[in-house]
Structures are given as structure tokens and as C-alpha cells.
């Protein structure tokens, strides 16, 4: 981790009146949650893009639910890591917004306030045919029945997440849009290949935000950043936090 870069970002973070952080799967990697485009990309022989679609669910809801049930069980055994903990502390600052693409709920478990769940939550279920039972929380692992059913109408239930080809909830988009007017936008642990989430960084920069990234790998938005810290989130965020607080 390059010290001058970390020091510069910590100074920007200290001065920022409005700070928006966008996170992706990499922030949960140290907790043991597999990333989507990393070495543990495949479940059985399937890629996430083969399963996280309305078409896949239409063809074989049981298979899609087996994948989600496996992920739910895996995540239930994971704990927030130091990266989540730093962001949870920062969420008590005025002008702070956390937008996450993660559906694992680990930011909330770390105590983060006001999380904007861009892609929904793996702990929420929805009625697939869309009866008036909007959504409900179910943290049972493993689920008693696959595929699970809507308790109101008996129709198929689906995970309360956003699949490829689906739109982002307009209320979530509005909250994200409002957070683009910030002094610093920090993108942490995302490959920045999935839109519209990946466009948040460029949109904030176009409005004048200083844009930085924390990721051990180079990403697709590398050319559009003001600063990049090539390090794992669970190392870089505690170091930044200590600098912001004048502890080192
Ligand atoms: N700290 C920070 N970043 C890390 C770490 C770590 N410890 N470990 C891995 N990374 C980085 C990887 O280098 C990669 O760039 O995290 C990123 C994870 O990228 P993806 O697996 O593509 O995850 P994400 O960007 O969140 O995916 C976006 O795609 O499949 C969909 O809906 C799903 O929300 C997801 C979306």
C-alpha cells in the first residue's frame, strides 16, 4: 500500500462534508463470502450470470433456489470483517451514504446506518407472481422447502435480489442519485463491470466529486479515478480510519 496515496485520501476524507462509499463483493471477501468474478466463480458448473436471471428462474426455480440456499447457508456462518466495521463507524458521520451491491447483509450486521441496498437482500423473499404480499424477511438456513412458497397466495417465492436484466428499485435509485453530490466518492471491492452500479463512480465525478478506489486488482474504471489504493479493503480501510482520526 503506497503511503502517500493513503495519506492523501485520508486528508480528503477528513475534509469531506459529504462522503459516499460504494461497495462490492470484495469488501466481504475477508469474511469468507466468495466474490462473483474471483477463483470461486462457479457453483457446480454454473456462472452467476447463468443463474441470476428471470429466465433461469422461469426454467428451473429449484436449481436457482439451491444456489441461493447454498449461499445463504455460507453467508450465515460469516462475520463482518474490519472493512465493514470501519464503514459502520463512518456511517455515524453526517453526510455519509453507503451504497452496496452486496446482498449478504454484512454491512447491516456491522451496524451500518442507512445502507442503500442497490441489489436487494438475500434475506428477503418476494412473491414471484406478484400477489399483494410485497416482500418478507426469512433468515432460515437451510430453507425448509425448495423452492419456497409465498405464505399469502401459495405461489412461488423468489429471492428479493436484483437479477441481470432487471431494473433497480426506483426508490433505491433516487437515494443513490441523491448521494452523487458528494465531495468524495469511494469505490471499494467491486470489479465495476455491472451497470448501473458501475456508473455511479463516473456520475459522481462528473458532478465534481473526488473519486477513489480500494481494490487489490485494477478495474474497468481505473482510467476514470482520481486515486487508487491497490490493497485489500480490510487492510486499507482500518489504516485510513486511523489516519482520519489522527491516531497514526
Ligand atoms: N478487498 C477489496 N477488494 C477485493 C478484495 C478485498 N479483500 N478481494 C477481492 N476484491 C475485488 C476483486 O479484485 C474484484 O475487483 O473485489 C472485486 C469483486 O468483483 P466481483 O466479483 O465482480 O463483485 P461485484 O463487483 O460486487 O459484482 C457486481 O455482479 O454478479 C453480480 O449482482 C452481483 O452485485 C454483484 C455484481
Query: Which residues are annotated as catalytic?
Result: 119
**CB distance 102 to 25 below 8 Å:** yes
pLDDT for 51 equals 96
pLDDT for 124 equals 98
pLDDT for 246 equals 87
pLDDT for 2 equals 75
Q: Which of 24, 221, 234 to mutate to test the pocket of ligand 1 (most atoms within 8 A of CB)?
A: 24
Question: Which parts of the chain sit beneath pLDDT 50?
Answer: none
User: Starting from the edge strand earliest in sequence, which strands make up the sheet with 227-229, in order?
Assistant: 116-117, 96-100, 19-23, 184-188, 210-214, 227-229
CA distance 17 to 183: 7
Query: Is 233 touching ligand 1 by the criterion CB < 6 Å?
Result: yes
Query: Is 196 touching ligand 1 by the criterion CB < 6 Å?
Result: no
Of 178, 147, 223, the C-alpha closest to 18 is 178
Query: Is 101 touching ligand 1 by the criterion CB < 6 Å?
Result: yes
Amino acid at each position: 500500500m503506497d503511503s502517500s496515496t493513503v495519506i492523501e485520501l485520508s486528508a480528503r476524507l477528513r475534509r469531506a462534508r459529504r462522503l459516499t462509499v460504494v461497495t462490492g463483493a470484495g469488501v466481504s471477501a475477508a469474511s469468507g463470502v466468495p466474490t462473483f468474478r474471483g477463483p470461486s466463480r462457479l457453483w457446480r458448473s454454473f456462472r452467476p450470470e447463468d443463474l441470476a436471471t428471470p429466465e433461469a428462474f422461469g426454467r428451473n426455480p429449484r436449481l436457482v433456489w439451491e444456489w441461493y440456499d447454498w449461499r445463504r447457508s455460507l453467508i450465515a456462518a460469516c462475520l463482518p470483517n474490519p472493512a465493514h466495521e470501519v464503514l459502520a463507524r463512518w456511517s455515524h458521520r453526517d453526510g455519509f451514504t453507503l451504497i452496496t451491491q452486496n446482498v449478504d447483509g454484512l454491512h447491516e450486521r456491522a451496524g451500518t446506518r442507512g445502507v442503500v441496498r442497490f441489489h436487494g437482500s438475500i434475506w428477503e423473499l418476494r412473491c414471484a407472481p406478484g400477489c399483494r404480499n410485497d416482500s418478507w424477511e426469512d433468515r432460515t438456513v437451510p430453507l425448509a422447502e425448495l423452492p419456497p412458497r409465498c405464505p399469502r397466495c401459495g405461489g412461488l417465492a423468489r429471492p428479493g435480489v436484483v437479477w441481470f436484466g432487471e431494473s433497480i428499485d426506483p426508490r433505491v435509485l433516487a437515494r443513490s442519485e441523491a448521494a452523487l453530490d458528494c465531495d468524495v466518492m469511494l469505490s471499494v471491492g467491486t470489479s465495476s463491470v455491472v451497470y448501473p452500479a458501475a456508473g455511479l463512480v463516473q456520475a459522481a465525478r462528473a458532478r465534481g466529486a473526488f473519486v477513489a478506489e480500494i481494490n487489490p486488482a485494477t478495474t474497468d474504471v481505473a482510467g476514470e479515478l482520481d486515486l487508487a489504493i491497490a490493497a485489500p479493503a480490510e487492510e486499507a480501510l482500518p489504516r485510513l480510519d486511523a489516519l482520519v482520526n489522527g491516531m497514526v
